[in-house]
Amino acid sequence: MRPTPVTLRRVQSLIVMSVVAAAEALSQDKQNEVRIQARPQRRIVVSIPDRKLALVEDGRVVKIYRTAVGAAATPSPAGTYTILQRVKNPAWYSGDTVVAAGKNNPVGTRWLGLSRKSYGIHGTNNPRSIGRRASHGCIRMRNSDVEELFELVSVGDVVELHGQRDAEIAQIFATPAASAQPVSSQVLTAASSDGGQ
């Protein structure tokens, strides 16, 4: 049995539609790939000994901030984590105590919750603590600084807390942000999150 010209045209149309659909799907995949590649490689690097935080984007130091880090009795945990939460005007929880957002809130105006449970980067109601070993392990920043950083980072960005000053850390924190020098990068991740100080 021979196919009729109508049947052949239908088959040809189906083939053409399939090829067009496949090309469109491939084009969409390429667009998605370009969008993914266009997202900057961003990480936050904290030098616990220097009590400083650097925002590094695409291998360049964008900004360096002074911080407070964990006190001797409650040290900041060295390691590599990710940002799991971004909260404006957070409440602070400690046991049965809750402090609502406001000037008395120990975590200030912003909370960047890390993948290490109860740890984060946050503001403070005690700006005189900046530059000291004064927190319960979190990274404290001036409210104006954490508000700026908050707008520059996203959930999923990597946060590295370094307990020792190796060559990479020395390079990052010796580099003035205005000159935006390239730095090397290594990325790892860790566990879960919620409130802290």
Give yes or no: 138 in active site: yes
Of 54, 56, 83, 138, the catalytic one is: 138
State whether 25 and 66 are in the same domain: no
State whether 94 and 135 are in the same domain: yes
Cα–Cα distance, 195 to 138 (Å, whole number): 10
What is the mean predicted confidence (pLDDT) over 139-148?
97
| H-helix or E-strand spanning residue 20 | helix 5-38
Looking at per-residue pLDDT, the higher value among 119 and 6 belongs to 119
The predicted pLDDT at position 104 comes to 87
pLDDT digits (tens, 9 = 90+) for 70-126: 999 999 999 999 999 999 999 988 888 888 888 889 999 999 999 999 999 999 999
The predicted pLDDT at position 192 comes to 33
The predicted pLDDT at position 95 comes to 85
pLDDT confidence of 181, banded at 50, 70, 90?
A: very low
Are 44 and 72 a contacting pair, CB within 8 Å? Answer: no
Number of domains within the chain = 2
The predicted pLDDT at position 186 comes to 40
The CATH number of whichever domain residue 75 belongs to comes to 2.40.440.10
Of 43, 51, 110, 122, the catalytic one is: 122
The predicted pLDDT at position 193 comes to 38
Classify residue 12: in a domain, yes or no: yes
Cα–Cα distance, 22 to 2 (Å, whole number): 29
Looking at per-residue pLDDT, the higher value among 155 and 25 belongs to 155
State whether 151 and 86 are in the same domain: yes
The predicted model scores a pTM of 0.70
Classify residue 161: in a domain, yes or no: yes
State whether 92 and 52 are in the same domain: yes
pLDDT digits (tens, 9 = 90+) for 23-69: 677 666 666 555 555 667 999 999 999 999 999 999 999 999 999 99
58: Cβ contacts below 8 Å, ≥ 6 apart: 40, 41, 42
* Structural domain for 3, as ranges: 1-38
Give yes or no: 136 in active site: no
